[in-house]
């Protein structure tokens, strides 16, 4: 339908159809749009029908001062090379969102990844709550800004006591 749209044409196309909270033209080949939670699935499905068939990445940013998480879906169209960051903010406490595996099946493991590192529950993706990278993790999800890696390691692992004395005694044994 629309071959080779540039980023501004793409944004005006989206603005006509959806209410965008914020638009950021990152570069000639990259656009970032902020949308409300309820628009995510319709926007992604619409963009997929336009040819943005590849979900390059799903990730999350922890805006701790605002008390929000920001989910970022990065999608790409190989025939009309523009990266689109589709971003939406969700609550930081008890974060829950709906899965997008119905639109992008490849999101399955990205959602698992985000669940493990940020604690976001994805409704409709039962596998998303299984352990993936971190074995027997027993603390806050580690990529949250309030997780202190140093304190965790001090608490979890005992201070090692050295039995050998490596200090230099002037060359004498």
Partner 1 sequence: MREIKLFLGPQHPGMHGNTSVHMYVEGDIIKKSYLLPGMLHRGFEKGMEQRTWINNIALIPRICVVEPDINEMVFAMGVETLAGIEVPERAHYIRMIILELARISIHLMAYGGIGGPTGHYTLMYHAQADRNRILEIFEKITGHRIYHQYIVPGGVRKDLPVGIEDEINEFLDDLASRYLEIRDLGIENPTIRKRLVDHILLPSEVVWELGVTGVGMRSATNKPYDLRKVLPYARYDQIDFEVPMADYSDAECRVDLKLQEVVQCIGIIKQCLAKMPEGPVRAKMDGNALKFRVPKGQVYAAVESSRGEFGYYIVSDGGTKPYRVAVRGASFPQGLLGVEKYLPGTRLDDAALWFDTMGVCSPEIDR
Q: Enumerate binding residues for partner 1 (CB under 8 A).
A: 24, 26-27, 29-30, 32, 53-57, 59, 61-62, 72, 74, 76, 78, 81, 83, 85, 87, 104-106, 108-110, 117, 132-135, 142-143, 147, 149
Question: Which tokens sit at 92?
Answer: 């930081």
Q: Which is nearer to partner 1, 105 or 171 (CB)?
A: 105
User: Whose Cβ is closer to partner 1: residue 41's or residue 142's?
Assistant: 142
25, 2 contact by CB (below 8 A): no
Question: 94 is written with which tokens?
Answer: 């008890």
Based on CB atoms, which residue is closest to partner 1, 17 or 64? 64
Task: Give the nearest distance from C-beta 1 to partner 1 in angstroms.
Answer: 18
Rounded Cα–Cα distance for residues 112 and 133 (Å): 10
Q: Say if CB 99 and CB 123 are below 8 A apart.
A: yes
Q: Checking DSSP bridges between strand 121-123 and strand 54-63, what pairing results, if any? A: unpaired
Separation of alpha carbons 134 and 78, rounded Å: 34
User: Would you say 18 or 143 has its CB closer to partner 1?
Assistant: 143
* Minimum distance, C-beta of residue 126 to partner 1, in the bound complex (Å): 14
- Nearest approach in angstroms of CB 165 to partner 1 is 32
- Shortest Å distance, C-beta 163 to partner 1: 28
Give min distance, CB of 162 to partner 1, in A: 25
Whichever of 135 and 138 has its CB closer to partner 1, that residue is: 135
In DSSP terms, 74 is beta-bridged to: 57, 85
Give the containing element (helix H, strand E) for 48. Answer: helix 40-50
């Amino acid at each position: 339908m629309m071959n080779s749209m540039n980023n501004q044409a793409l944004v005006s196309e989206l603005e006509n159809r959806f209410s965008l909270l914020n638009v950021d033209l990152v570069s000639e080949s990259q656009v970032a749009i902020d949308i409300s939670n309820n628009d995510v699935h319709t926007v992604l499905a619409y963009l997929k029908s336009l040819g943005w068939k590849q979900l390059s990445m799903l990730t999350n940013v922890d805006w701790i001062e605002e008390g929000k998480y920001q989910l970022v879906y990065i999608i790409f169209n190989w025939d009309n090379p523009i990266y689109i960051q589709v971003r939406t903010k969700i609550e930081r406490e008890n974060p829950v969102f709906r899965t997008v595996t119905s639109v992008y099946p490849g999101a399955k493991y990205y959602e698992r990844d985000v669940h493990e590192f940020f604690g976001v529950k994805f409704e409709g993706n039962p596998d998303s709550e299984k352990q993936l990278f971190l074995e027997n993790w027993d603390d806050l999800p580690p990529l949250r800004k309030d997780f202190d890696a140093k304190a965790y390691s001090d608490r979890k692992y005992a201070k090692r006591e050295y039995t050998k004395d490596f200090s230099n005694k002037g060359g004498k044994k």
